[in-house]
Structure 1
Amino acid sequence: MDPLVNTIRPYAWGSTTALPGLFGVAPDGRPQAEMWMGAHSSAPSLVRRPDADLPLDAVIEAAPAAELGDVVLRRFGPRLPFLLKLLAANAPLSLQVHPDLAQAKVGFRIENAAGIGLEAPHRSYRDDNHKPEMVVALDAFEGLCGFRTPSECAGLLAALGLEELDPYGRVLRTEPEEDALRAVFSAFLAPPPGLVAVVAGAVGRAARTQGPHQADFELYDTIARAHPGDPGLLAALMLRTVRLGPGEGLFLGAGVPHAYVRGLAVEIMAASDNVLRCGLTSKHVDTAELLRVVRFDAPPVRVLRPVPEGPEEVYPAPVDDFRLSRVRVTEEDAAAVLDATAPHILVCTRGELRLRGSKGDVRLGPGGSVYASAGERVVIEGDGELYRATVDTGTSQVLR
């Protein structure tokens, strides 16, 4: 078990206070959006060892079987299959989707063949992996996730009282679900001149008027003010608003349009940085590719709550790239003992914890993290909370 030194990404939408507040340090005035914990080549964590700080991807590359274990190595190859983050949003993130595995492999190959550099700003596929992800709120967290049904979309648009939106409402009420969502979403991403401004004004008025959709319009008004004139506002009106309380989670699969708006959370995903954006951003927008990847259906949003398994509370996910759990201990508890046949990363989010492993003890406060290689037992004592990222190999054991 080794302490980690992690990169903090200073994206413009990041909070200037949330991560410093969690870490117990003074803000420096700059946005701190994401802290990355993992071995992704864009920003690998440094493993702190007595002789040197080594990039985690290099540590794994040097001894993949020892670090990952046989099951993970056979299933995913010589790489850590997940990326763990602390995410602190103070402004809406881009409206985006992620590709599935087949789409990512094709897109990555096409952009390589076109000679587009991996760090080029107009690149969409930065690796050949899919990016299913899960977010778990540490405080009140708001976002958009998945399409409303066509009838729900039509009702929300009608509540704005704009004649300009009537043609879109008719399509939503008369066409089959997939056709209706595709047609209106595509049209909203290339709207006629002036429509975004008119809708933004109506959204602002609706946000200040009591009614059945007021809470939703308040969130959309936040988006409109953060991204004036951006057609992503129109597309966002078609997405469900989601509000998570502390400890509640959300899983996002391939092709699901979404945008986080504000809040502090733990986020885990397959080890990928593939993002297809269509609005609410100053970064590269690839509308055509996004429309090819997005799923035009409207299943209900499922808010995840953890399932107890020994001292852990596990957040269920329908993928095998990662397994996320929460561990909470007090001084009165017996030590929580974590055994696994896969590597794991642990990050403290509350309190003060003592972690004991084969290489010695580590003390963690909020924001502190460690990496443990496959097969290494970690004993947790103290009074606090941490989140554990690993891979369910089918032979993991969690003991009290």
Structure 2
Amino acid sequence: MDRLATTIRPYAWGSRTALPALLGAEPTEDPQAELWMGAHSGAPSGVDRGHGAQTLDQVIAADPERELGAATVRRFGPTLPFLFKVLAAGEPLSVQVHPDLAQAQAGFAAEEARGIPLSARERNYRDANHKPEMLCALDEFTGVCGFRRPERTAALLDRLGVPGLRPVADVLRAKPEPEALREALTLVLTLDQASVPALVAETAEALRRLAAEAASDEAEAVAFADYAALADYYPNDPGLLSALLLNHVVLRPGQAIYLGAGVPHAYFRGLGVELMANSDNVLRAGLTPKHIDVPELLAVVRFEATDPSVVPSESVPGNPGEQLYPVPIDEFRLSRYELGEWPLPTGTPQIVLCTSGEATLTDAAGQRLTLSPGQSCFIPADNPAVTATGSATTIFRATVTL
């Protein structure tokens, strides 16, 4: 078992207090957005097996079958197929979407062929992998996820009463669902830039009015206030208008959502555990100073309305204490354990993260490792048996499905 030395990414949208509170550290003046655990080349975790510090990707590359297991290597190749994070949003993240595997491979190859540097601002594909992801809330977590049904969004835009949004409402009513959603998103992303600040300000003011009028409906009031607040952060950005096409979501602690390829989404605020395929491919639709490639975005988005649903955790037969958040992919598997003493299944690569209390991991050789909140460890596939114990403790376990 290897305690991980992790990296905190200081993105501008990060909270200045949430990660320090989790780690029991004093906050700094800088935003702390994401704590990365894994072997992604952007910020691989460090390990020390007594021969000096190494990165986890170096350790895995030296003996993939020992670290990952032969079955994992056959299925996913000689790299850790997932990236584990703690995400702390103090401000809204961009409205974004992730490609599927074929799109990522084609997009990456095309940009490589054109000679676009990986660090270039206009680069869309940083790697050739897809990026399905799951987020499980550690405290109340808000955002938007998936397109709202066109007729419901049209009715919302009518309630706002903003003349500049009437063409969007008309499109949503006049066309079949996929075409309506595509044209609506295209409209808001291709507005004359000179008209955007006034339209965003007028829309935000109308949303604040609706929030005040919805005082007796807490969920509706929170949603309207959340949408309106986007204009405070990005007054010259059409991201508020993109977000209005999407479902508002509030997660309570322990609740999770799964985001497959092509599903537009944005996180607004909160602290959560995030698990994803080992990729950093993002295409954006607003709420960002970063590059927005409208044609490529429109090629990746799935234009279908969804009703966002919380992924319920479920007990796992034969694995006492494990609460699994099931997903329709194999690259990652997220479980939560609370209190007591738990045997952790072995035979696959796994990262264990403590989020509350204190967890002690013990393996068959008698090695013991104690984790405090925010600390994590890597357990290689060849470790035959690991038991986790703790009182008033919560841990999350990330691994693969085989």
TM-score by length of 2: 0.94
State the distance in 1 between where 2:230 and 2:64 align: 44
**Aligned residue for 1:323?**
333
**Aligned residue for 1:396?**
none
Pair 1:202-2:216 in alignment: no
State the distance in 2 between where 1:339 and 1:183 align: 48
SS in 2 for 1:32: coil
Checking the alignment, whether the CA contact within 8 Å between 1:196 and 1:230 is kept in structure 2 is: yes
Pair 1:379-2:387 in alignment: yes
SS in 1 for 2:187: helix
Counterpart mapping for 1:208-287 below 5 A = 208-210=212-214, 213-287=220-294
**Aligned residue for 2:38?**
38
Pair 1:370-2:377 in alignment: yes
Shift of 1:49: 2.1
Checking the alignment, whether the CA contact within 8 Å between 2:5 and 2:45 is kept in structure 1 is: yes
Shift of 1:359: 6.9
Identical columns (%): 52
Shift of 1:190: 1.7
Counterpart mapping for 1:119-198 below 5 A = 119-192=119-192, 193=195, 194-198=198-202
Deviations 1:188-225 (A, max 9, x none): 11224142332233223333332664332111012111
Letter in 1 for 2:266: A
**Aligned residue for 1:292?**
299
Letter in 2 for 1:229: N
SS in 1 for 2:271: strand
State the distance in 2 between where 1:311 and 1:125 align: 39
State the distance in 2 between where 1:69 and 1:359 align: 22
Letter in 2 for 1:34: E
Deviates most, 99-108 or 277-286: 277-286
State the distance in 2 between where 1:217 and 1:382 align: 41
Deviates most, 23-32 or 130-139: 23-32
Change (3 A) 1:359 1:65: farther
Deviations 1:227-286 (A, max 9, x none): 112111111100000000000000000000000000000000000000001210112222
**Aligned residue for 1:336?**
342
Q: 1:355 aligns with which of 351, 361, 366?
A: 361
State the distance in 2 between where 1:134 and 1:73 align: 23
SS in 2 for 1:242: strand
Letter in 2 for 1:13: W
SS in 2 for 1:219: helix
- Runs of 4 or more, structure 1, over 3 Å off, are none
State the distance in 2 between where 1:145 and 1:176 align: 21
State the distance in 2 between where 1:2 and 1:165 align: 54
SS in 1 for 2:67: helix
Q: Would you say how many aligned residue pairs link Structure 1 and Structure 2?
A: 389
State the distance in 2 between where 1:126 and 1:216 align: 33
**Aligned residue for 1:389?**
398
Deviations 1:29-60 (A, max 9, x none): 21110000000011100013223121000100
State the distance in 1 between where 2:200 and 2:295 align: 20
Checking the alignment, whether the CA contact within 8 Å between 1:339 and 1:375 is kept in structure 2 is: no
Shift of 1:226: 1.3
State the distance in 2 between where 1:99 and 1:128 align: 10
SS in 1 for 2:11: coil
State the distance in 1 between where 2:260 and 2:100 align: 8
State the distance in 1 between where 2:366 and 2:29 align: 37
SS in 1 for 2:236: coil
State the distance in 1 between where 2:164 and 2:97 align: 28
Checking the alignment, whether the CA contact within 8 Å between 1:247 and 1:305 is kept in structure 2 is: no
SS in 1 for 2:213: coil
Shift of 1:337: 1.1
Letter in 1 for 2:367: G
Letter in 2 for 1:355: L
